[in-house]
Amino acid sequence: MEHSKETLPTFLIDGPLLRGVAREDRLSFLESMNLQTYPPGDVLFFEGELGDELFLVVSGEVVILNHTEMDEPVELTRILAGDFFGEMALLSPAPRSASAIALSFTNALSMPRRQYLDRLEGGDPAAAALMHSIARRVCQRLRATDGRIDLIHDALHGASSEDLESRLVNLTGRDQTGPVGWRESLLQFFGGA
C-alpha cells in the first residue's frame, strides 16, 4: 500500500524510534517501508516460520503469543501504535519465537531483512538509529529475563510470599494478588498454567 509523509502519523516521524536522525532521513526510511492493513484475527506471522521482516505498528494493536509444550497459547506482550516487533529477523534469519496476531484493525509498516541491511550498509542514518533501538530493546529483555530467573531462584529457595508477590508486580506491572496466589501467578507468568 502506498504511503507518504502526509499519511504517516507525526508520532512515528518524530518519535523515539529513529532518535537523533534528521527528519528528512526519517521520512525517507519510513516511506521505504511497506504499509499493510490487517483485520482483527489476521496472523502477521506464525511461531516457527522463518523470520525475514520487522514490523512497525502505525495504528491498532497486535498480540505476541507463543505456545507451551501442551500447545496452550501464552500472551507475551501487546504491541501498540508506535512500537515495533519482529526485530530479531533483521539481526539473524531464524524461525520466529512467537506468533503475531492483529487484535484490532491494524496498519503496520514492514521492512524485509535484505532491504534493511542494504540501507544499513549504505550508511543510512535511520537504519543505524533503528539498530540502536533494537539494541535497547534486547537489553531491556535481558534485564527482564534476569529478573525472572532471580524470581524463580528465590521462589525455589524459600523467599516469603509477600516478597515474591511484590517482585512479581514489579516484573509484570500487574497486581497478582487476590484469589490467585503467588505460586499460581508465577505459573501463569511463565506460561505453566
d(CA 142, CA 193): 23
Task: Give the position of cell 490487517.
Answer: 38
Q: For residue range 127-179, what is the model confidence (pLDDT) as tens digits?
A: 998 888 888 877 776 776 666 666 666 666 666 667 666 666 666 555 545 44
pLDDT, averaged across the chain: 81
pLDDT at 18: 87
pLDDT at 170: 65
Contact indicator for 107, 86 with CB cutoff of 8 Å? no
pLDDT at 6: 63
112 pairs with which residues across the strands?
Answer: 53
Confidence label for 180 from pLDDT (cuts 50, 70 and 90): very low
pLDDT at 122: 95
Checking if the pLDDT of 37 tops 60, the result is yes
pLDDT at 132: 85
pLDDT at 14: 83
Average pLDDT over residues 8-29: 87
Burial call 133-166: b when 16+ CB within 10 Å, e when fewer? ebeeeeeeeeeeeeebeebeeebeeeeeeeebbe
Q: For residue range 4-15, what is the model confidence (pLDDT) as tens digits?
A: 556 788 888 888
170 burial via Cβ count (<10 Å: 0-12, 13-18, 19+): exposed
* Domains of the chain, each with CATH number or no CATH: 1-112 (2.60.120.10), 138-193 (no CATH)
User: pTM to 2 decimals?
Assistant: 0.73
Q: For residue range 79-96, what is the model confidence (pLDDT) as tens digits?
A: 999 999 999 888 888 999
Residue among 87, 94, 79 nearest 38 (CA): 79
Contact indicator for 92, 138 with CB cutoff of 8 Å? no
